[in-house]
């Protein structure tokens, strides 16, 4: 289909016959993501609010379908790249967000940490240096005033505002730590996401990025689990993989949209979660 034919097809979106509109929408969506720039161009060139609304809906449908495909590919083949997984989650709200921009932002944070880092120091001291850079110099902090904001699960928003929830702050922390060659990993606790420093040469310990990098022990986790009256599991003490991090980020996003009453987006993120895992449970 050439450009003129496509324009003619798009112009039929404001037809009064709903069957024609439905047929046109199906035809356009069948063309895939390549048609998005043409739709956006037509949106800008028309003053017809009905046509603009239908174009917006089509663009969103196409972008959402593309996101499902990309997320599935990441989940099955690319999960070693956590930043890419977080970028895909953020692209739900920010479809024009560029992955390279996030890499550049992380690279700058890494550089700030690298300048002050001492590779030969003991693990506790390494973590304290990283804490000093992230929470002291760069001012990353818990977003306690707006805890349920969806932006807390969007890595681009967290890097820009320096505010986040437990899992997004942990993601920033571990991405920088791992780039510094530190054995720092995520840990899936009930109601809280934390980090662990796990090296066979040293005693394992834990870090709470939501509390400015507070260092604590396995016994502290056991006490926390006891207070929640939850049966202890190995997963509460050991590293989780990147797919678990993305699943939890999606569950948190579902919970955020539920809290602010945006049920359409809540349902769409449930669809994303179900699409990759078969899970559609609400956030934790």
How large a percentage of the chain has pLDDT more than 70?
A: 98
Decide which of 49, 78, 107 is a domain's last residue.
Answer: 78
Domain holding 40, by residue range, is 3-78
Which of 44, 62, 78 is the C-terminal boundary of a domain? 78
User: What pLDDT was estimated at residue 245?
Assistant: 98
Q: Put residue 261 in one of left, alpha, beta given phi > 0 → left and psi -120 to 50 → alpha.
A: left
**Higher pLDDT pick, 167 / 279:** 167
Residue 138 pLDDT > 60, yes or no?
Answer: yes
Place of tokens 């990147």: 242
In a domain, 284, yes or no: no
Same-domain status, 65 and 103:
no
Q: How confident is the model at residue 16 (pLDDT cuts 50, 70, 90)?
A: confident
Predicted pLDDT at 278: 78
217 and 245 belong to one structural domain: yes
> Is residue 66 situated within a structural domain?
yes
36 and 135 inside one domain: no
| Average pLDDT score over residue span 124-152 | 96
What pLDDT, in 10s, does the model give residues 182-236? 999 999 999 999 999 999 999 999 999 999 999 999 999 999 999 999 999 999 9
Does 282 map to a domain? no
57 found inside a domain: yes
- How large is the average pLDDT for residues 73-96? 97
Residue 88 and residue 227 in one domain: yes
Residues 258 and 218 grouped into a single domain = yes
SS3 102: helix
The count of structural domains within the chain is 2
Q: What average pLDDT does range 46-65 have in this prediction?
A: 92
**Hey, which bits of 9-79 come out as E strands?**
none
Which of these three, 78, 111, 142, is where a domain ends?
Answer: 78
**Would you call 234 exposed, middle or buried from its count of C-beta atoms within 10 A (0-12, 13-18, 19+)?**
exposed
Whether 283 maps to a domain, the answer reads: no
pLDDT on residue 12:
87
Q: Are residues 173 and 44 in the same domain?
A: no
Given pLDDT bands bounded at 50, 70 and 90, which one contains residue 262? very high
pLDDT value at residue 279: 58
Please tell me whether residues 114 and 181 are part of one structural domain.
Answer: yes
Residue 42 sits in the same domain as residue 181: no
Under 8 Å CB-to-CB from 43, ≥6 apart: which residues? 51, 52, 55, 56, 59
Question: Would you state the structure tokens that stand for residue 62, as one six-digit string?
Answer: 């196409």
């Amino acid at each position: 289909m050439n450009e003129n034919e496509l324009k003619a097809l798009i112009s039929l979106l404001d037809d009064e016959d709903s069957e024609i509109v439905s047929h046109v929408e199906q035809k356009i969506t069948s063309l895939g993501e390549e048609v998005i720039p043409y739709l956006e161009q037509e949106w800008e060139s028309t003053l017809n609010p009905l046509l603009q609304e239908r174009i917006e809906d089509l663009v969103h449908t196409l972008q959402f379908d593309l996101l499902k495909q990309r997320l599935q590919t990441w989940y099955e083949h690319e999960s070693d790249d956590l930043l890419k997984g977080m970028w895909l989650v953020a692209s739900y709200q920010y479809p024009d967000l560029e992955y390279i921009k996030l890499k550049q932002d992380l690279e700058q944070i890494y550089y700030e940490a690298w300048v002050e880092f001492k590779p030969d120091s003991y693990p506790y001291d390494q973590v304290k240096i990283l804490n000093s850079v992230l929470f002291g110099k760069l001012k990353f902090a818990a977003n306690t005033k707006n805890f349920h904001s969806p932006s807390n699960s969007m890595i681009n928003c967290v890097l820009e505002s320096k505010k986040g929830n437990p899992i997004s702050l942990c993601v920033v922390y571990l991405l920088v730590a791992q780039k510094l060659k530190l054995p720092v990993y995520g840990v899936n606790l009930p109601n809280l996401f934390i980090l662990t420093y796990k090296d066979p040469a040293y005693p394992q310990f834990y870090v709470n990025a939501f509390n400015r990098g507070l260092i604590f022990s396995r016994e502290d986790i056991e006490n926390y689990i006891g207070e929640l009256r939850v049966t202890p599991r190995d997963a509460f003490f050991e590293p989780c993989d990147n797919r678990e991090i993305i699943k939890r980020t999606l569950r948190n996003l579902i919970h955020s949209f539920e809290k602010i009453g945006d049920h359409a987006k809540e349902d769409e993120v449930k669809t994303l979660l179900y699409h990759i895992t078969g899970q559609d449970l609400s956030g934790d």
